[in-house]
Amino acid sequence: MREPLMRRSDELAERVVRLFQASIALKQQVAETHADTIVRMAQAICGSVTHGGKVLLCGNGGSAADAQHLAAEMLVRLRPHVNRDALPALALAVDTSSLTAWGNDYEFDGYYARIAGALGRPGDVLVGISTSGRSLNIIHALQIARRRQLVTLGLLGGDGGPALVECDLAVVVPSTEVGRVQEVHIAAGHALIELVEDLLLDDGYLTRTSGNP
């Protein structure tokens, strides 16, 4: 029994290597094609927060978790050695009472648009995260954000889908494999936040702290 199992383990290990290699290759491709876009996204966020704006983030499923992940790193910190003031960021999926009330009383597709329209102000930033670019609630949120004069940023996948035309700037990961797209999204998100931190620290808008609030 052990020998076939060991052969199976070797096959699975090779598959893991291929998955890592696919992720690495896709990250390299996006880095080469979207580095300037990530810089411009960072500049847009810096321009917003230095004028009293905030960053709203939204996504579905794993992308909702990525939205919360990135919001937490803006509010708290990303790098252990970079203690600094908080950056105003909010993941729109965190209010479960409002989320379930809207889903029960209306259609889920309009929830993020409702919240973005209520909380967003001209000059704020909305980051829509969708691995397909076809999530209706993300598209509607981007549309209402544009009407309210927010800056719209996208972390998208595939060909960008209908969400792409609603974004002022977007990183589009050219893959339909959800896992690989999400891996690139979080890498791009971390690069984005590091740039924001460094730009705002260099400009003196943020100050380094001891690590305590």
Per-residue pLDDT of 137-183, as tens digits, reads 999 999 999 999 999 999 999 999 999 999 999 999 999 999 999 99
Residue 209 lies in a domain: no
Residue 173 lies in a domain: yes
Residue 64 lies in a domain: yes
DSSP code of 177?
-
Q: Report d(CA 34, CA 165) in Å as an integer.
A: 17
Letter string b/e over residues 154-192, b meaning 16 or more CB atoms within 10 A of that residue's CB: bbbbbebbbbbebbbbbbbbebebeebbbbbbbbbbebb
Residues 6+ apart with CB under 8 A from 71: 55, 57, 89, 90, 91
Percent of the chain exceeding pLDDT 70 equals 95
Q: Report d(CA 71, CA 69) in Å as an integer.
A: 6
CATH code for the domain in which residue 177 is found: 3.40.50.10490
Residue 211 lies in a domain: no
Model confidence over 18-45: pLDDT tens digits?
999 999 999 999 999 999 999 999 999 9
Model confidence over 99-127: pLDDT tens digits?
999 999 999 999 999 999 999 999 999 99
Residue 17 lies in a domain: yes
Q: Would you give the distance in Å from CA 102 to the centre of its chain?
A: 23
Residue 84 scores a pLDDT above 70? yes
Q: Report d(CA 112, CA 68) in Å as an integer.
A: 14
Q: Give residue 2's pLDDT.
A: 55
Residue 97 lies in a domain: yes
Q: Which of 175, 143, 137, 144 is nearest to 33 (CA)?
A: 175
Any idea what the Cα angle at residue 94 is, between residues 141 and 199, rounded to 5°? 75
Q: Which residue has the higher pLDDT, 193 or 9?
A: 193
Q: Report d(CA 144, CA 163) in Å as an integer.
A: 12
Q: Give residue 9's pLDDT.
A: 85
Written as one letter, the residue type at 191 is A
The count of structural domains within the chain is 1
SS3 107: coil
Q: Do the beta carbons of residue 113 and residue 139 sit within 8 Å?
A: no
Residue 98 lies in a domain: yes
Q: Which domain does 189 fall in, by range?
A: 2-203
Q: Report d(CA 154, CA 108) in Å as an integer.
A: 20
SS3 173: strand
DSSP code of 106?
S
Residue 208 lies in a domain: no
Q: Give residue 208's pLDDT.
A: 86
Q: Report d(CA 72, CA 130) in Å as an integer.
A: 19
Q: Report d(CA 170, CA 129) in Å as an integer.
A: 10
Residue 1 scores a pLDDT above 60? no
Written as one letter, the residue type at 127 is V
